[in-house]
């Protein structure tokens, strides 16, 4: 055999050996057959870098939307068995039912972050047909404060003592809008990206994140924000495992989902990756032991939240934004955000009782000598108890398409009804009440305000 032939054979053997999936040590709680199927598929599958037989990423696992006993418990068990520390972003509508699980997560060294109270977008959200504003300023502050109060209650106050304290917006909205959503906020004046070329998405997103009022509100409550650099897509129908008639999952689809999640994790940009999963899905509870074992077999190093938040590359790409970095944003853009989001001196930023009383739903109009309803007005619109010029972005944020003209009426004017020939006098009516010439539902607080003796 000549030397050239020998070298070619050695090269072919080496290439074949590198493409073979390595042998893994699976723990007792892992489905070994499933794990070996995933390894074999990774060795065959051609992703961005060819067959995946090695992965040197540092990965921080994050789980959103829980806790749910049936699914969060086995995930915690799998993490504990492997001494892996994650961050659980809790939707606090799951509390107090899930208090014990949140406390357990902290006991076992995991970070617990806030995912807000209700799972609602914090600025705008796109549906199939439109983009519309969601939570108002007052609602956002109330949601954050309620979340903090419940998490502190679940952990005996330990939640608020974490450093850094982490928040993740539901759907990422408040940090990462979609293109149609950012377009909407630019059109309505909520974001001024005039310094950016229209096709410069990176610049437009930088302006948004530097001036996001939702980000400023969480920073005022002592939070940094953690986004993700890898999405497992476990909430997408096309990616999630397929259910069987018996209520389980098809084996092949479990292997496919696990392979795709690991491939995405290893092909994510940067040496350190923040991976997004949801601990509300039963299939994540089922495959997590296998996924963790295969990831380690490939060479993945799992890191805790402290390592992730101190990683300079994640900070530079704003995957993690510290409280201080968030608060520097408006200065970077040369603008001023709402002063009211800054807590008063001497009041802890996590104090739920510091929330202001809900804003009035009506506004006194000196021109009409009457109170006008929310989202109504002429040149100015009633927004959370204040008359604001109609072109102000806050009008669009709170009212959206619900802005209505206020009919100019004579004080204490009567109201006409198709059901009675004679007009209804001021403060008269049953299911609706006549107020200064306008019909208002009887249950509206304005009725009690204007007609206390009714």
Domains of the chain, residue spans: 20-326, 362-450
Give the whole-angstrom CA distance, residue 366 versus residue 338. 26
Contact 116, 86 (CB under 8 A): no
Give the whole-angstrom CA distance, residue 246 versus residue 228. 34
Give the whole-angstrom CA distance, residue 439 versus residue 267. 60
Centroid of chain to Cα 93: 14
Contact 355, 234 (CB under 8 A): no
Classify 250 as helix, strand or coil.
coil
Whether omega before 67 lies within 30 degrees of 0, making that bond cis, reads yes
- A 10 A CB-CB count for 304 gives 16
Which helix (DSSP H) or strand (DSSP E) does residue 364 occupy? strand 362-365
Give the whole-angstrom CA distance, residue 33 versus residue 80. 22
Contact 94, 67 (CB under 8 A): yes
Contact 43, 51 (CB under 8 A): yes
What homologous superfamily is domain 20-326 in, according to CATH? Glycoside hydrolase/deacetylase (3.20.20.370)
pLDDT of 339: 45
Question: What are the Cα distances from residue 403, in Å, to 127, 380, 398, 453?
Answer: 20, 10, 9, 30
φ and ψ of 417, to 5 deg: -140, 140
Tabulate helix, strand, coil % of the chain (nearest 5): 40, 20, 40
- A 10 A CB-CB count for 204 gives 21
Give the whole-angstrom CA distance, residue 382 versus residue 406. 10
Angle at 148 between CA 124 and CA 59, to 5 degrees: 75
Q: Give the burial class of 390: count Cβ atoms within 10 A of its Cβ; 0-12 exposed, 13-18 middle, 19 or more buried.
A: middle
Question: Each residue's pLDDT tens digit in the chain (454 positions)?
Answer: 555 554 444 444 444 444 444 568 899 999 999 999 999 999 886 555 578 889 999 999 999 999 999 999 999 999 999 999 999 999 999 999 999 999 999 999 999 999 999 888 888 766 656 666 677 777 888 888 899 999 999 999 999 999 999 999 998 888 988 888 898 888 888 888 999 999 999 999 999 999 998 999 899 889 999 999 999 999 999 999 999 999 899 999 999 999 999 999 999 999 999 999 999 999 999 999 999 999 999 999 999 999 999 999 999 999 999 999 999 999 998 887 654 433 333 333 333 333 333 445 677 776 666 677 778 777 778 887 778 877 777 777 677 666 776 655 555 678 887 777 788 888 888 888 887 777 777 877 667 666 777 7
Q: Which residues fall within 8 angstroms of residue 217, CB to CB, at 6 or more apart?
A: 137, 140, 141, 144, 341
pTM (two decimals) = 0.71
Give the whole-angstrom CA distance, residue 171 versus residue 127. 13
């Amino acid at each position: 055999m000549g030397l050239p032939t020998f070298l070619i054979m050695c090269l072919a053997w080496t290439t074949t050996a590198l493409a073979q999936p390595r042998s893994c040590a699976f723990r007792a709680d892992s489905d070994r057959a499933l794990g070996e199927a995933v390894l074999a598929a990774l060795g065959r599958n051609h992703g961005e870098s060819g067959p995946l037989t090695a992965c040197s990423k540092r990965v921080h696992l994050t789980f959103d939307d829980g806790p749910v006993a049936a699914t969060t418990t086995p995930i915690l068990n799998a993490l504990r068995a492997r001494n892996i520390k994650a961050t659980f972003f809790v939707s606090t509508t799951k509390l107090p039912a899930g208090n014990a699980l949140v406390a357990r997560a902290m006991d076992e060294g995991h970070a617990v972050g806030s995912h807000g109270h209700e799972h609602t977008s914090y600025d705008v959200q796109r549906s199939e047909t439109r983009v519309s504003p969601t939570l108002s300023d007052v609602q956002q502050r109330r949601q954050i404060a309620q979340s903090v109060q419940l998490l502190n209650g679940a952990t005996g106050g330990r939640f608020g003592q974490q450093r850094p304290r982490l928040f993740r917006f539901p759907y990422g909205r408040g940090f990462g809008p979609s293109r149609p959503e950012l377009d909407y906020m630019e059109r309505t004046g909520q974001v001024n990206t005039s310094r950016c070329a229209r096709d410069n998405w990176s610049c437009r997103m930088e302006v948004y994140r530097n001036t996001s009022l939702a980000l400023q509100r969480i920073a005022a409550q002592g939070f940094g924000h953690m986004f993700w650099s890898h999405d497992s897509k476990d909430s997408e129908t096309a990616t999630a495992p397929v259910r069987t008639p018996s209520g389980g999952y098809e084996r092949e689809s479990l292997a496919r989902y696990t392979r795709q999640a690991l491939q995405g994790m290893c092909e994510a940009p940067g040496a350190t990756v923040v991976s997004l999963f949801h601990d509300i899905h039963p299939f994540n509870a089922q495959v997590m032991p296998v996924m963790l074992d295969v990831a380690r077999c490939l060479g993945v190093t799992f890191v805790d939240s402290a390592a992730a938040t101190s990683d300079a590359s994640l900070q530079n790409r704003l995957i993690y934004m510290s409280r201080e970095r968030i608060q520097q944003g408006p200065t970077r853009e040369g603008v001023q955000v709402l002063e009211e989001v800054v807590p008063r001196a001497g009041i802890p930023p996590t104090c739920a009782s510091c929330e202001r009383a809900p804003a009035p739903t009506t506004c006194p109009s000196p021109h009409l000598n009457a109170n006008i309803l929310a989202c109504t007005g002429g040149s100015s619109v009633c927004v959370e108890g204040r008359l604001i010029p109609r072109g102000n972005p806050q009008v669009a944020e709170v009212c959206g398409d619900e802005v209505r003209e206020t009919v100019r009426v004579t004080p204490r004017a009567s109201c006409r009804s198709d059901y009675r020939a004679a007009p209804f006098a001021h403060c008269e009516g049953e299911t609706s009440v006549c107020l200064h010439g306008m019909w208002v539902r009887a249950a509206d607080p304005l009725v009690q305000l204007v007609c206390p003796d009714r």
